[in-house]
Amino acid sequence: MNSFKDRVAIITGASRGIGLGIAKTLVERGAKVCITARNVEALDEAVNALGGPDVAIAVPGKADNAEHQDEAIAKTIEAFGRLDHLVNNTGINPVHGPTLDIDLGAAAKIFAVNVLAPVAWTQRARDAWMGEHGGSVVNIASVAGLGASPGIGMYGVSKAALIRLTKELGYELAPKIRVNAVAPAVVKTKFATALYEDREEEVASSYPMKRLGVPEDIAGAVAFLLSDDAGWITGQTMVLDGGVTLAGGL
């Protein structure tokens, strides 16, 4: 339970949902964390829930903003003296419908946040600390990146790109920095509400585990991949789906 003692992590998009669940798990296991998101009030509440400024700080901003990225990494090292782990959790899906009907500006924004922002965060983490001292990164992908995902096709394409990015960075940054990903199915968060609201039992019935995911399901796997227990794992994507893809479903 103390596997993250003296370790420091940044988790993007962590004022609620999966990101906050990951932050809670890491703090419980001894880490200190910096969490980011756009909403200042939600971040303040999250810091208090995590145990206050001795173990958590928050830096508000947009995940794809370069100045915000620089500020978050600088403040993390200033507050805690190091940066061992990065979780690229922020993701957006602002549109629904056929992929070829998408506004190209919206598509560009999806890729800016879901793919290019993880590149930039990882680059900055490498340059600020991990390149010299080592570290580990986990990208939050999705089962939507593993196959066709009707209605959210461009989101799925971006997550497929993130899975491929994980492979490339795992190869390029070894042995100093490990890079892995997780690909969740539907997890009960505000972000995913439209996928199960008012029909949770129906959606869950297609899952062999007969339930949807919760943030804790993802947090434990992410903590493992970040930890020294996964010290010989890089470039991999762990599917966390309650078994729903076993028969080809998404």
pLDDT digits (tens, 9 = 90+) for 120-139: 999 999 999 999 999 999 99
In this prediction the pTM is 0.95
pLDDT of residue 217: 95
Round to whole Å and give the CA distance between 206 and 203.
6
Q: Are 33 and 10 in contact (CB under 8 A)?
A: yes
Question: CATH number of the domain at 8-186+215-240, please?
Answer: 3.40.50.720
Q: What is the pLDDT of residues 61-82, one digit of tens each?
A: 999 999 999 999 999 999 999 9
Q: Name the band, by pLDDT with cuts 50, 70 and 90, for residue 250.
A: low
- Burial-class residue 65 by CB neighbours within 10 Å (0-12, 13-18, 19+): middle
Domain boundaries, the chain: 8-186+215-240
Phi, psi torsion values for 174, nearest 5 degrees: -65, 150
Those residues with Cβ within 8 angstroms of residue 167's Cβ, 6 or more apart along the chain or in another chain: 235
Question: Can you tell me whether residue 166 is helix, strand or coil?
Answer: helix
Average pLDDT across the chain, whole number: 94
pLDDT of residue 189: 80
Q: Is the pLDDT of residue 159 over 60?
A: yes
Matching residue, tokens 């004022």:
15
Those residues with Cβ within 8 angstroms of residue 139's Cβ, 6 or more apart along the chain or in another chain: 87, 88, 118, 162, 163, 165, 166, 179, 180, 181, 182
Round to whole Å and give the CA distance between 8 and 31.
6
Q: Is the pLDDT of residue 204 over 90?
A: no
Q: What is the pLDDT of residues 207-229, one digit of tens each?
A: 888 989 899 999 999 999 999 99
**How many degrees, rounded to 5, is the angle at CA 236 between CA 114 and CA 56?**
60
Q: Name the band, by pLDDT with cuts 50, 70 and 90, for residue 188.
A: confident
Q: Name the band, by pLDDT with cuts 50, 70 and 90, for residue 194.
A: low
- Residues labelled catalytic: 155
Longest Cα–Cα distance of the chain, Å, equals: 50
Phi, psi torsion values for 173, nearest 5 degrees: -95, -10
Q: Are 179 and 234 in contact (CB under 8 A)?
A: yes
pLDDT of residue 139: 98
pLDDT of residue 201: 83
Q: Is the pLDDT of residue 1 over 60?
A: no
